[in-house]
Amino acid sequence: MSELKPFKLSVLDLSPVPEHSDPRTAFSNSLALAKYAESAGYHRYWLAEHHNMTGIASAATSVLIGYLAANTRHLRLGSGGVMLPNHAPLVIAEQFGTLATLYPDRIDLGIGRAPGSDQRTMMALRRHMSGNAEDNFPQDIEQLIRWFDAPAGTAFDVQPVPGTGLRVPVWLLGSSLYSAQLAARMGLPFAFASHFAPDMLSQAVTLYRENFRPSDRLAAPYVMIGVNVIAAESKARARFLFTSQQQQFINLRRGMPGPLPAPVENMDTVWSPAEKYGVDRALGISLVGDQASVTQGLASLQQQYQPDELMINGQIFDNEARIYSFSLAMAAAESLKH
């Protein structure tokens, strides 16, 4: 058997707001997880932009990144991602230029094309008053990179201050073949959102690697894969904890997003057979179990996709259980190195 490529392990945090809790508690929980991730050797820690969702507190993504960066020492932090159609590129360049100035060599800008919200919220964000922001997506990314990569002394009519010339790392995120093709063409690292949309994972990774064009930013393709990990002291306990994320997904599909639900003993009292099928498919890249089963799952992903990096998401109601899950995931990943 050929030797498997080692992978880095990172954290995706949606800063969940549990039922009967509030965003302030969610931020405290995120800081506790970030501090743990730093101490445990996780490679990077990303936060995701979602709007008009009472169960996700990371809407002002750059602000929350700054809070976590100020209260950690060396952990790499970033967006997973900023939904660029919601924003003027100049504003994002200024925000991440400011973060990169305050916390040098610690900030990533992961960019997505989806709005991360519903139509009414998109209108409230005021990015669709004229034209189509999604159609401008490649040009907006190119503009960001022109600013970030500008040599000293380059003159722009409009420029981000700070931001110009700071070489903030830019990632392209997606769950489709479009994002894979664009990342390959632009020579950017690519993160696939397989933790909630796994259907095109294999095709997208293959397409990206086969069509990758080296750039000044990246010499060879770099693939990150999103994976849900819900780990506990037993398989039964992990399956119980996983029901919070399953319920949250059902509520989203029903058009009733809300706080992260408490876990339940029996999901058959919550979902219909059709809903179960849809959730099982959407959350198909999920490792739910004890450390041994998570180790086996990580090894399978490593063998099948040869990722450069795995980014773990875990929507767990109790934050102590969430941190423990991430500790078991790191132990599982470390065991694969030996």
User: DSSP alpha helices (H): ranges in the chain?
Assistant: 23-40, 61-70, 89-102, 119-124, 137-148, 177-186, 201-211, 235-253, 273-282, 291-305, 319-335
Q: What is the pTM of this model?
A: 0.94
Q: What is the pLDDT along the chain (338 residues), one digit of tens a residue?
A: 457 889 999 999 999 999 999 999 999 999 999 999 999 999 999 999 988 889 999 999 999 999 999 999 999 999 999 999 889 999 999 999 999 999 999 999 999 997 655 667 667 766 554 455 557 899 999 999 999 999 988 989 999 999 999 999 999 999 999 999 999 999 999 999 999 999 999 999 999 999 999 999 999 999 999 999 999 999 999 999 999 999 999 999 998 989 999 999 999 999 999 999 999 999 999 999 999 999 999 999 999 999 999 999 999 999 999 999 999 999 999 999 87
pLDDT in tens, 133-180: 557 899 999 999 999 999 988 989 999 999 999 999 999 999 999 999
Task: Answer yes or no: are the C-beta atoms of 26 and 57 closer than 8 Å.
Answer: yes
Predicted pLDDT at 114: 78
Q: Return all residues near 5 (Cβ < 8 A) that are at least 6 apart.
A: 302, 306, 307, 308
Which amino acid would we find at residue 109? L
Backbone angles phi, psi at 129, to 5 degrees: -70, -30
pLDDT of 303 reads: 96
Distance CA 180, CA 174 (A): 7
Q: Are 84 and 43 in contact (CB under 8 A)?
A: no
d(CA 105, CA 120): 37
What is the distance between the terminal CA atoms of the chain, rounded to a whole angstrom? Answer: 15
Looking at residue 1, its pLDDT comes to 41
Residue 318 carries which DSSP code?
S
What are the start-end ranges of the H helices in 80-136?
89-102, 119-124
